[in-house]
């Protein structure tokens, strides 16, 4: 009894520790008082003001465009990369696969600074283009990570079966391979979109001074003054990223369920 009570209490503490900051943030985004410690009643003012703030709206636009474009481009590149890799022999494929995963373990700071240096070096003016390129670059490995396993699971004869039934190679990829790996592609899209919205460090080094993403705007607002709009904006960001992550999780657990079902059927 006490054991159980201790166990649950411990878990509650951990979750409290993890989520208390976010909870405070969300609560204070509805706080009528400007103070960060005193509750002054419920209000939606900060959200309303947010919608009138041009700086934030333009940052939101940049963030969404970059997120959408980088997600689409990175996923497209990753898809054809994976299909190509899959046709390679094992040794070179493993080598290329591992090289493409390295950026994932690279600290964002290093990626951001090295991208900035690269853009300086090739005399590319930092701005929207460099921001987008940077986001595509850090998104590609994650997209590959979501798509490659789907291709690996595929029956290797499926492509040949399509050729056998009269498909040209491009047709076979479109009619058979793409439908089979579509779950991986959709996951890649959501994941890269989320990562792109979420990113601060790499954007900070590659966006230049003219444009700004939401993350950068929040950062600079937080440095300048105490402004509850930050709370409101962060809450929105938190909720949208959380939603996307929940979608990804739901998708992958559903697939795991399906895989288990199929496996059971095959064994029976």
Partner 1 sequence: MNQLFSPKKKTAVSMADSGWQQQLPDSTGSSHIIELIGVNKYFGEAHVLRDISFYIRQNEFITLLGPSGCGKSTTLRILAGFEQANSGQVLFEGRDLLAIPPYERHLNTVFQRYALFPHLNVFDNIAFGLRIKKQSRQEIRTRVEQALKMVDLQGYSERWVDQLSGGQMQRVAIARAIVNQPRVLLLDEPLGALDLKMRKDMQIELKDMQRSLGITFVYVTHDQEEALTMSDTVIVMKTGEIQQIGTPTDIYNEPRNAFVADFIGESNILPGRMTRDFEVSFAGRTFTCVDPRMENEAVDVVVRPEDVQLRQPSDETVNGVVTSVVFKGVHYEMLIETETCEWLVQSTDRAAEGDHVGLYFDPDEIHIMAKSDQSPDRVRTAGDDVQEQEDDW
How crowded is residue 1: how many other Cβ atoms within 10 Å of its Cβ?
5
- Radius of gyration, alpha carbons of the chain: 23
Give the integer Cα–Cα distance in Å for 169 and 188: 24
- Minimum CB–partner distance for residue 86 and partner 1 (Å): 8
CB 197, CB 205: distance < 8 Å: no
CB 70, CB 132: distance < 8 Å: yes
- Minimum CB–partner distance for residue 164 and partner 1 (Å): 5
Structure tokens at 192: 């890269």
- Minimum CB–partner distance for residue 162 and partner 1 (Å): 8
Q: Which residues contribute to the site for partner 1 (CB under 8 A)?
A: 86, 89-90, 155-158, 160-168, 171, 175-176, 179-180, 182, 261-262, 265
Under DSSP, is residue 109 helix (H, G, I), strand (E, B) or coil? helix
Nearer CB in complex with partner 1: 89/224 = 89
CB 189, CB 72: distance < 8 Å: yes
Structure tokens at 36: 């960060």
Per DSSP, 124 falls in state P
Nearer CB in complex with partner 1: 36/261 = 261
Q: Which residues, 6+ apart, have CB-to-CB distance to 108 below 8 Å? A: 138, 199, 201, 202
Which residue reads 């040209």 in tokens? 168
Nearer CB in complex with partner 1: 109/161 = 161
- Minimum CB–partner distance for residue 265 and partner 1 (Å): 6
Nearer CB in complex with partner 1: 61/254 = 254
Nearer CB in complex with partner 1: 22/158 = 158
- Minimum CB–partner distance for residue 122 and partner 1 (Å): 38
Nearer CB in complex with partner 1: 40/149 = 149
Sequence length of the chain is 268
- Minimum CB–partner distance for residue 260 and partner 1 (Å): 12
Start-to-end C-alpha separation, the chain: 42
* 14 phi/psi in degrees, rounded to 5: -60, -45
Provide the sign of the torsion angle of the four alpha carbons 238, 239, 240, 244, taken in this order: positive
- Minimum CB–partner distance for residue 89 and partner 1 (Å): 7
Nearer CB in complex with partner 1: 61/168 = 168
């Amino acid at each position: 009894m006490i054991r159980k009570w201790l166990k649950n209490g411990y878990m509650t503490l951990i979750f409290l520790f993890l989520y208390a900051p976010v909870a405070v943030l969300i609560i204070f985004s509805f706080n009528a008082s400007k103070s960060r410690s005193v509750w002054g009643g419920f209000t939606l003012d900060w959200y309303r003001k947010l919608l009138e703030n041009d700086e934030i709206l333009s940052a939101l636009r940049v963030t969404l465009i970059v997120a959408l474009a980088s997600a689409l481009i990175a996923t497209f590149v990753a898809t054809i990369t994976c299909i190509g890799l899959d046709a390679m022999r094992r040794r070179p494929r493993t080598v290329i696969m591992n090289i493409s995963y390295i950026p994932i373990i690279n600290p964002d700071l290093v990626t951001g600074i090295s991208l900035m240096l690269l853009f300086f070096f090739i005399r590319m003016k930092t701005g929207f283009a460099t921001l987008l390129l940077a986001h595509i670059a850090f998104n590609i490995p994650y997209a590959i990570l979501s798509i490659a396993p789907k291709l690996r699971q595929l029956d290797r004869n499926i492509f040949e079966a399509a050729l056998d039934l009269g498909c040209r190679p491009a047709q076979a990829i479109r009619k058979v391979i793409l439908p089979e790996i579509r779950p991986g592609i959709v996951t890649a899209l959501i994941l890269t979109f989320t990562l792109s919205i979420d990113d601060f460090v790499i954007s900070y080094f590659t966006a230049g001074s003219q444009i700004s993403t939401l993350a950068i705007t929040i950062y600079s607002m937080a440095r300048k003054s105490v402004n509850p709009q930050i709370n409101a904006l962060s809450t929105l960001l938190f909720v949208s990223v959380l939603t996307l992550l929940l979608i990804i999780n739901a998708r992958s657990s559903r697939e795991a369920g399906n895989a288990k079902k199929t496996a059971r059927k095959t064994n029976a």
